[in-house]
Amino acid sequence: MKSKRKLMYGLLPILFAGGIGMYLYMQNNKEAEVKPQTTVNQYIEHLQKKEFDQLYTLMTSASLQESGMNKEQFVEKYNAIYSGMEVSTVKAEVKPVDVAETASDGSKTDAEKQNPDAYEVDYNLQLTTFLGEVSETHTLKLVRQELEDGRKNWQINWQPSLILNDMVKGSKVRVRTLFPDRGDIVDRDGLPLATKGTMNEWGIVPEKLGDNPDQMIARIAGHYQVSEDAIQKALAQTWVKPEYFVPIGSTEEFDVPESLSGVTMQSKEIRYYPLGEAAAHLIGYVRKATKEDLDKDTEGYYRAEDWIGKAGLEQSMEKQLRGERGGLIEITDESGNSRSELIRKDAVDGQNVQLTISSKQQKKLYQTLSSGGDAGAMVLMNPTDGNLLALVSAPSYNPNKMVTGLTQAEWDAYSANEKLPFINRVTTRYAPGSTFKAITAAAGLMEKVTTADKTHDISGLQWRKDDSWGGYYVKRVKSLSPVNMVDALVYSDNIYFAMEAIEMGSAKFIDGIQKFGFGDNFGLNELYLKPSQYANEAHLDLSSEVLLADTSYGQGEMLMSPIHLASSFTPFINEGKLVKPVLIEGKESTDPEVIITPEAANTVKDALGEVVSRQGGTAHTLNSIPGGLAGKTGTAELKAKKGEKGEKGQENGFFVVFDTDSPTFLLSAVIEEVNGRGGSHYVVDKLKPFLEKLEITQ
């Protein structure tokens, strides 16, 4: 008995040790309990990386079944919403658990004890969209699920509100662009030069074309002067349905002929230019952005449906006029009704731009210039404050057609026009011809070389300094001797001013003329105005006496824009002050600068008055117009090389004119190809009816 007891007591320690070992073995080999935080962390990681296919695997099958989405639909929904909102970054962060919700000893809370298979956690979500930051707080609801192999795992009950808080089953996210109103361009009186308008747009409803659609399309194409192919391509677009209206083109008609089945008309808002051709080069036009525009868009603003300035002020002032696009991201119900706005950025309308231009004078001056099919430019300005009252260029084009779309026939007509209607001649630089003699006279007076009564004895119609000029001669039209400065301006004598320039020498001559605005674009960046030049870069010193002589009467390598030509005459009206041209109301401008003495200015002005008043003066035909007109004519001949023999080159006629009694206007004009039409006299005669009726209000 004792031996049995001893045996039992001996075995007890062994059995106890074995039990402890087995327990430890089982504990060590038991799979660690899965924590809900593991699933939460996976969810946060996949969401931030936009790995929506991985998110799907974390959801309970019951909640996914309730949503009615398979994996492909689930991923597609997330991708569609995030791409529509242009979500660039996703930040998700679990909110810290309130200390009050956790037992002081770290044990489970009452809620967890009540339902150990459920777990909730809040997290902050921040989405960076194309409109800005969207921040929300979401709640993840997890349940412990038993897997097929008997293991347990924590999974998430998916709800649409996990995408965005206000989403429910059937909800969608709608992204809308809020477009700004483009700023108007208006004249000095507030009258529109570029504004909102409407057009008649015609299109086709395919199901209404009748029994023979192809035959009807041919008839429609003939009526609206478009190709059948263009109509067929429009109708073949992927979005077209039989009952849809398919826009084709614009028309000035208001009614559809009864014979054209399937054609429908509707009104459409567009950019409108009230002055049409009269202000086309100044104002420009807008067109739909092209692929080239989008490629050049470094700031990423434009989209394919946007309008963009393509010429004139519409192009150069695009940023001010276009405004800033806004947007709206909203959540809708299944029927498309808005449930809530997620984020809104209101559009900022474009700025209105007011010009110094007078619509009345712009129209009248354009009609004057364009009559007879002439090519050229005219600039009307107020010489005392620099305000530009009219800037016209001809031939022109219809900017409204550029917006609504040119027919092939219209485009072909513009392309075939040898006078190049799309060139803005207001900013084109020309050799100004004899109009420049007024500036040479002023330079001579300032350098104490020229005086009003200084004479040269000149015989014949041509002159050269000496044999060093070879076969080159300066020529004049009228034989007169002796000739003083006033005579030379009145009769436009090239030889007199060539002699004066040679006597001054290149250094004094250059110093005298540069003050008149050479090298300056007067801040007219909106017009893309290039500064004028008195010579090419290689010959700025005018070391050649032949070139110096030619430059003195506006030939040689001199190039001036009609705008600069007008401005260069302002010192003769303003006691020697150069007044720079102004186009934009309210834009900061520089004060007039005194460049010559009042005595020199008045001497030239008086001589220019005799160009009109003296019998035989080159602008004497205007003497009957009241107001004390003064001016200077000029004709410039274009040749490939100086002294070229044979057929004469193209001649451009110039005229600069202003009133002297109470200065209200100054007008510079150039008309191309006046060969055989009287040269500059053709320009004077053409302007006479305009000047007779001209009334300028200050």
Catalytic residues: 434
How many Å separate Cα 358 from the centre of its chain? 23
How far is residue 34 from each of residues 153, 230, 488, measured CA to CA in Å? 6, 66, 107
Expressed in angstroms, the distance from the first to the final Cα of the chain is 140
Under 8 Å between Cβ of 561 and 669: no
Map 442-490 to HEC letters: HHHHHCCCCCCCCEECCCCCEECCCHHHCCCCEECCCCCCCEEHHHHHH
How far is residue 258 from each of residues 82, 208, 219, 242, measured CA to CA in Å? 49, 13, 12, 20
For 61-90, give the DSSP string: HHHHHHHT--HHHHHHHHHHHHHHTT--EE
Tokens coding 138: 């979401």
Q: Give which of 489, 395, 391, 385 is closest to 444, Cα–Cα.
A: 489
Under 8 Å between Cβ of 425 and 374: no
Under 8 Å between Cβ of 223 and 213: no
Could you tell me which residues come within 8 angstroms of residue 613 by beta carbon, excluding any fewer than 6 positions away? 620, 623
- 10 Å CB burial of residue 634 (0-12, 13-18, 19+) is buried
Contacts of the segment 122-127: beta carbons below 8 A, 24+ positions apart: 122/94, 122/95, 123/40, 123/44, 123/92, 123/93, 123/94, 123/95, 124/91, 124/92, 124/93, 124/95, 125/47, 125/90, 125/91, 125/92, 126/90, 126/91, 126/92, 127/82, 127/85, 127/87, 127/89, 127/90
Could you tell me which residues come within 8 angstroms of residue 167 by beta carbon, excluding any fewer than 6 positions away? 160, 161, 173, 331
Structure letter (DSSP) for residue 412: H
Measured CA to CA, the distance from residue 182 to residue 197 in angstroms comes to 12
Residue type, 185: I
How far is residue 354 from each of residues 7, 188, 192, 358, 585, measured CA to CA in Å? 116, 6, 9, 11, 6
Q: Name the pairing type of β-strands 152-156 and 666-671.
A: unpaired
Q: Residue 616 belongs to what H/E stretch?
A: none
Q: Give which of 580, 592, 594 is closest to 522, Cα–Cα.
A: 580
Residue type, 655: F
The pair phi, psi for residue 200, each rounded to 5°, is: -90, 115
Residue type, 169: K
Measured CA to CA, the distance from residue 590 to residue 542 in angstroms comes to 30
Cis-peptide into 482, omega within 30 deg: yes
Q: Give which of 232, 288, 235, 223 is closest to 260, Cα–Cα.
A: 223
Q: Give which of 280, 309, 314, 275 is closest to 397, Cα–Cα.
A: 280
Q: Which residues sit opposite 142 in a β-bridge?
A: 119, 156
Map 165-228 to HEC letters: CCCCCCCEEEEEEECCCCCCEECCCCCEEEEEEEEEEEEECHHHCCCCHHHHHHHHHHHHCCCH
Measured CA to CA, the distance from residue 247 to residue 149 in angstroms comes to 62
Quickly tell me which residue has 């707080």 as its tokens. Answer: 137
Measured CA to CA, the distance from residue 296 to residue 289 in angstroms comes to 11
Tokens coding 204: 């086709």
